Amino acid sequence: MTSSTTQLPLEGQAALVTGASRGIGRAIAITLASQGARVACVATSVNSAEASAAECAALTDGALALGVDVADNAAVKSLVKDAVQQLGGLNILVNNAGITRDGILLRMSEEDFDQVIAVNLKGAFNFVQAAARPLMKSAGRIINISSVVGVTGNAGQANYAASKAGVIGLTKSVAKELAGRKVTCNAIAPGFIETDMTAALSEDQRSALLAGIPLGRIGISAEIAALTAFLAGPAGGYITGQTLVVDGGLSL
C-alpha cells in the first residue's frame, strides 16, 4: 500500500467488483483501489481473481480475491455475506461479469441463450439482491455494466443483446426501488473495448467495426473504469437510473 496525506475520493469505501480478473473488471477494481477503496475482486475462482486482488492490495488497504459462478443465487448470497463481513460493509457494487455465446438466431442453441441470460442478467440480479441491505445501510452505489448492443440490438447476438437490455431494465427498476434509501443504480453501456472478449474478432470484422465508429478507434478498459469511479464517487451522487453510453459514437 502507498502512503499519502491527501484524502483520496473513495477512501474508507468498500467495493465489490464482479468479473474482476481480466479486461474491464480488472481495470475497474484497480481504479477503485487507486482512489482508496477496499476492493473484493470476484471471478469464477479465487485463483482467477488473485492477480487483480494483489494489484489492488499494492494500492489500498484491504483487497480480497473471491470466486463464484455469478449465476448461482445461493452461492452469491453466501459470497456477498462473507465479503461484507471481511470488508466491514459495502458502499459500491459493480456488476461487470459477462460472457458472449454469439450465433445467428436460427442456429442459436437453447443452452447458449440460457447461459448468457444466466450469467449476464441473472448474475447482476443475484448480486444486487444479495447486496441490497448493506448498500441501503451505506447509501451505496450500484454500477451495472451493460453494452451498447443492449440499446441498439445486434445481429448474431440475440442472447447477449437481450441480457444487456435486461440489465438496463433491472438498473432502472432498482434505481426507483432503492432511491428512498439513497442508493443510486446506473448502467454503463460500452461500445467495443479492447479486451479478451473483443480479441476474438477477425481482422475483417475489426476493420468493418472501426468504419462504424465516428471516433475511429476501439475503446480501452480505463475509459470504462474512469466513469465507474465517477459514478461511485462524490460527484456521482445525483445520477440514478441512467444508462451512460461509452462507444466513440458507434450508436449515433
The residues binding ligand NAP (CB under 6 A) are: 18-25, 43-45, 48, 68-71, 96-99, 119, 145, 147, 190, 192-193, 195-198
Closest distance to ligand NAP from the beta carbon of 135 (Å): 20
Closest distance to ligand NAP from the beta carbon of 70 (Å): 4
Per-residue DSSP letters for the chain? ----SSPPTTTT-EEEEETTTSHHHHHHHHHHHHTT-EEEEEESSHHHHHHHHHHHHTTSS-EEEEE--TT-HHHHHHHHHHHHHHHTS-SEEEE-------B-GGG--HHHHHHHIIIIIIHHHHHHHHHHHHHHHHT-EEEEE--THHHH--TTBHHHHHHHHHHHHHHHHHHHHHGGGT-EEEEEEE-SBSSHHHHTS-HHHHHHHHHT-TT-S-B-HHHHHHHHHHHHSGGGTT--S-EEEESTTTT-
Q: Which of 160, 168, 233, 247 is catalytic?
A: 160
The C-alpha cell that represents 229 in the structure block: 469511479
Cβ proximity to ligand NAP: between 4 and 103 the closer is: 103
Cβ proximity to ligand NAP: between 99 and 178 the closer is: 99
Closest C-alpha to 246, from 195, 200, 187: 187
Return d(Cα 161, Cα 150) in angstroms, integer: 5
Is 160 tagged catalytic?
yes
Cβ proximity to ligand NAP: between 108 and 197 the closer is: 197
Cβ proximity to ligand NAP: between 44 and 129 the closer is: 44
Closest distance to ligand NAP from the beta carbon of 72 (Å): 8
Burial environment of residue 51 by CB neighbours within 10 A (0 to 12, 13 to 18, 19 or more) = middle
Closest distance to ligand NAP from the beta carbon of 164 (Å): 7
- Catalytically active residues are 160
